[in-house]
């Protein structure tokens, strides 16, 4: 595996860094405080081609590789992890699956505006009683003429109130366990489809998360994605891609906290010298830098394998597991290095500490990643 970035990858990383520093960072504290969705920023991300980064240009995407996507995600998440997850869901969980498994008509109608960033997507798999055990879908769909009628509830849906198009999973044949699950494309505004209020969250507060409810919601037959009974495979294959997206988000959060801690340690004096000169601080910084580098390499490795058309399931899970735990450890140490300043909103590492936690939970908890890795290494 070669780790030298190409000229194009470096350029995309630089573009993302400048955009993050100039357009996202200055307002991140306020958005977090007010739990305010970054509508204008998401629009600009679309203009930069960052909402459909890996989608083929024939479907209005930017046609970039997965490594470029990861690098951009890291830069964006470094200054605001909420913006990172909004971008990740549209790229990894929505446009990825639609490009691979939707009909040409669905791609024309829904994928193109999503890839341009004109519309926003959401991925509705989790339910009140189906989180890690995703086969236990209680949302049901039955056929009536040319329509499928959905009834049920979804939980913890990122972009839940702001999205225009939702990929919704439902049981179409209860007897068949995961082979009886089907994926549907549901438009906001479809009668019978409503969303709940925004959750009041610990972190990633300016992204919006809510429940969805389906009450005799009629979806046209042509909005079935892939085919009837393929929904679980759709979800699992999509989540593999989601996992290097969240790994990139976690690396970005850790990078942001580390840079703030390093800068602070070179300015703050205690016991007659900058605290960066104390070994207690240097050891912390050394561990932080090493873990970030390892997490970044694992993440880029998973993305590189995907770009080469190779199997990357185990590597994506390893990247997410390690990067999310790194994000927790690094942000905790950054708060510790900043001391009292680290505990207040103004210095931002407390937000990064709160934001980091979700990376160990969504798109497969750390426990689920260990299951995926464990199964893969004992099967090989």
Residue 328 to residues 192, 338, 350, Cα–Cα distance (Å) = 40, 16, 11
CB atoms within 10 A of CB 34: 10
The nearest distance, CB 128 to ligand CAA, in angstroms, is 13
Q: Indicate which single residue of 27, 151, 237, 336 sits in contact with ligand CAA (rule: CB under 6 A).
A: 237
- 188 is a site residue for ligand CAA (CB under 6 A): no
Q: Indicate which single residue of 13, 158, 211, 326 sits in contact with ligand CAA (rule: CB under 6 A).
A: 158
**Nearest residue (CB) to ligand CAA, 63 versus 229:** 229
- 135 is a site residue for ligand CAA (CB under 6 A): yes
363 is catalytic: yes
For ligand CAA, which stretch binds (CB under 6 A), given 40-48, 76-84, 328-336, 367-375?
Answer: 367-375
Residue 90 to residues 29, 129, 310, 318, 380, Cα–Cα distance (Å) = 23, 25, 23, 22, 33
Residue 257 half-sphere exposure toward CB, CA atoms < 13 A:
37
- Rounded Cα gap, residues 143 and 201, in angstroms: 37
For ligand CAA, which stretch binds (CB under 6 A), given 75-83, 146-154, 212-220, 233-241?
Answer: 233-241
- In total, the chain counts a number of residues equal to 380
**Nearest residue (CB) to ligand CAA, 13 versus 88:** 88
- Rounded Cα gap, residues 217 and 226, in angstroms: 20
- 240 is a site residue for ligand CAA (CB under 6 A): yes
Q: Catalytic: which of 75, 325, 350, 363?
A: 363
- 327 is a site residue for ligand CAA (CB under 6 A): no
Query: Of 16, 21, 28, which is closest to residue 80 (Cα–Cα)?
Result: 28
Site for ligand CAA in 164-183 (CB under 6 A): 178
**Nearest residue (CB) to ligand CAA, 333 versus 363:** 363
- Identify the three-state secondary structure at position 126: coil
Q: Indicate which single residue of 12, 42, 89, 275 sits in contact with ligand CAA (rule: CB under 6 A).
A: 89
The nearest distance, CB 149 to ligand CAA, in angstroms, is 24
CB atoms within 10 A of CB 178: 17
The nearest distance, CB 209 to ligand CAA, in angstroms, is 7
Q: Indicate which single residue of 71, 322, 363, 373 sits in contact with ligand CAA (rule: CB under 6 A).
A: 363
The CA angle 166-245-305, to the nearest 5 degrees, is 120
- Identify the three-state secondary structure at position 106: helix
Count of helices and strands (H, E) across the chain: 13, 10
Q: Indicate which single residue of 55, 86, 134, 250 sits in contact with ligand CAA (rule: CB under 6 A).
A: 134
Contact 368, 375 (CB under 8 A): no
- Identify the three-state secondary structure at position 164: coil
- 123 is a site residue for ligand CAA (CB under 6 A): yes
For ligand CAA, which stretch binds (CB under 6 A), given 272-280, 282-290, 302-310, 359-367?
Answer: 359-367
Alpha helices in 162-308 (DSSP H): 231-267, 279-307
Residues in touch with ligand CAA (CB under 6 A): 89, 93, 123, 125-126, 132, 134-135, 157-158, 178, 232-233, 236-237, 239-240, 313, 362-364, 368, 371-372
């Amino acid at each position: 595996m070669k780790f030298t970035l190409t000229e194009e990858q470096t350029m995309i990383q630089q573009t993302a860094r400048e955009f993050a520093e100039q357009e996202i960072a200055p307002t991140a504290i306020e958005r977090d405080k007010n739990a305010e969705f970054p509508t204008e920023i998401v629009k600009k991300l679309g203009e930069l081609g960052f909402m459909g980064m890996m989608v083929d240009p024939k479907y209005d995407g930017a046609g970039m590789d997965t490594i470029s996507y990861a690098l951009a995600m890291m830069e964006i998440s470094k200054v605001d992890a909420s913006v990172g997850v909004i971008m990740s869901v549209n790229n990894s969980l929505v446009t990825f699956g639609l490009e691979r498994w939707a009909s040409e008509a669905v791609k024309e109608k829904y994928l193109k505006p999503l890839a341009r960033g004109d519309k926003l997507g959401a991925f509705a798999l989790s339910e009140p009683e189906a989180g890690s055990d995703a086969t236990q879908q209680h949302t049901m769909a039955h056929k009536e003429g040319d329509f499928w009628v959905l009834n049920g509830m979804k939980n913890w849906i990122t972009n839940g109130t702001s999205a225009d198009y939702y990929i919704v999973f439902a049981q179409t044949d209860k007897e068949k366990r995961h082979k009886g699950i089907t994926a549907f494309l549901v438009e906001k505004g479809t009668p019978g489809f409503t969303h709940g209020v925004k959750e009041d969250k610990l972190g990633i507060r300016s992204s919006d998360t809510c429940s969805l409810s389906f009450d005799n919601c009629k979806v046209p037959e042509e909005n079935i994605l892939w085919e009837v009974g393929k929904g679980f495979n759709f979800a699992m294959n999509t989540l593999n891609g989601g996992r290097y997206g969240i790994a990139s988000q976690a690396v970005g959060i850790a990078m942001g906290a580390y840079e703030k801690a390093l800068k602070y340690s070179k300015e703050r004096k205690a016991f007659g010298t900058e605290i960066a000169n104390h070994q207690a601080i240097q050891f912390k910084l050394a561990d932080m830098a090493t873990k970030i580098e390892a997490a970044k390499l694992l993440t880029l490795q998973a993305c590189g394998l995907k770009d080469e058309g190779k199997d990357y399931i185990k590597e994506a899970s390893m990247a997410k597991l390690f990067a999310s735990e790194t994000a927790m450890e690094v942000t905790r140490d950054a708060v510790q290095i900043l001391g009292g300043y680290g505990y207040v909103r103004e210095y931002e590492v407390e937000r990064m500490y709160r934001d980091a936690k979700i990376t160990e939970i969504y798109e497969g908890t750390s426990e689920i990643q260990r299951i995926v890795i464990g199964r893969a290494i004992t099967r090989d």
